[in-house]
Amino acid sequence: MKINDSLIYVVEEPTSQKEFMRDKLSSRFIKSSIKYNNIFKNDVLSIRDTSLKKGDIIRVDFPDENPNGEVQHMDLDIVYEDRDILVINKPPNMVTHTSRGDMSNTLLNYTLGYFEEIGLKRKVRFVNRLDRDTSGLVIAAKNSFAHAMISEQFQNGVVKEYLAMVKGTPKDMIIEAPIARGEDGILREVREDGKYSKTSVKLLKSFREYSLVRLRLYTGRTHQIRVHMKHIGYPLLGDSLYSDDTTLERQALHSFKVIFNSPREGRVELTAKLPDDMKQLLRK
């Protein structure tokens, strides 16, 4: 079995292996590492609790994995990459994950192709996902350790900013309006019994009939930006679900910026360039 990467820790003070691992890793990841014999103490398999002394080296291997989808190849717009993650600027009109109706030509398929190109035998684990029509930053974890670490950050709140083209000219504001699932199970709506949702709006540029805005998500509800902007009277251009606008063939929404901590590299602040269809609107 070829090992592409490992976690390596040097013990700084006497302790038990159980306590040492619990301090560093999630319980789910520890159980999986024990199950598949991936924990080593001073290069010797060590999956049972044992005493550790200063200077001992604990290594946790990431084993090879079979791909979790069809492997396909295309040039990806890679914004950032390190040992644990790959961040891609997803184009519009591409599904992020495979599903029953989309088993090929998804971002997952093409990311598996990239993994194959660099010799990484792993599943693709997306930390976040975007709608088919939304473009921008998507984070793929290269191992289960990174997926768990960054997913936890997203649950606790990371900086997520979007660029959008909307009808009219909104003012800078904070929207705090609860969002609930609509009766059809697809549409969302602002409703008193919904979940707390918060979005900030900053006007960047105004045109005759539409504007470019910068939006920050403080919560992560389904369709949050689209619902909130419709709620205040400035729906997204091209959003067929929440308006009748046909300026674009998809909602003019782009995941522009994200700030988080990569597990072993620290703080990462990334931005993604606008796709061509939104750029063309800015030139008019």
Q: How many CB atoms lie within 10 A of CB 153?
A: 15
26 contacts 11 by C-beta, under 8 angstroms: no
Radius of gyration of the chain (CA): 22
Phi-psi region of 269 (alpha: psi -120 to 50; beta: other; left: phi over 0): beta
**End-to-end C-alpha distance for the chain, whole angstroms:** 56
b/e code 99-109 from CB counts within 10 Å (16+ = b): eeeeeeebbbb
Question: Facing residues of 167 across strands?
Answer: 210
Quick check: is 193 catalytic? no
Q: What distance in Å separates the CA atoms of residue 52 and residue 100, rounded to the nearest whole number?
A: 48
197 contacts 177 by C-beta, under 8 angstroms: yes
Helical ranges in 36-174 per DSSP H = 107-117, 144-156
Q: What distance in Å separates the CA atoms of residue 91 and residue 71, rounded to the nearest whole number?
A: 18
50 contacts 16 by C-beta, under 8 angstroms: yes
Here the tokens at position 100 are 């029953």
Instruction: Give me the catalytic one of 5, 82, 102, 131.
Output: 131
Q: How many Cα atoms sit within 13 Å of 284 on the Cβ side?
A: 15
Residues annotated as catalytic (active site), given as ranges: 131
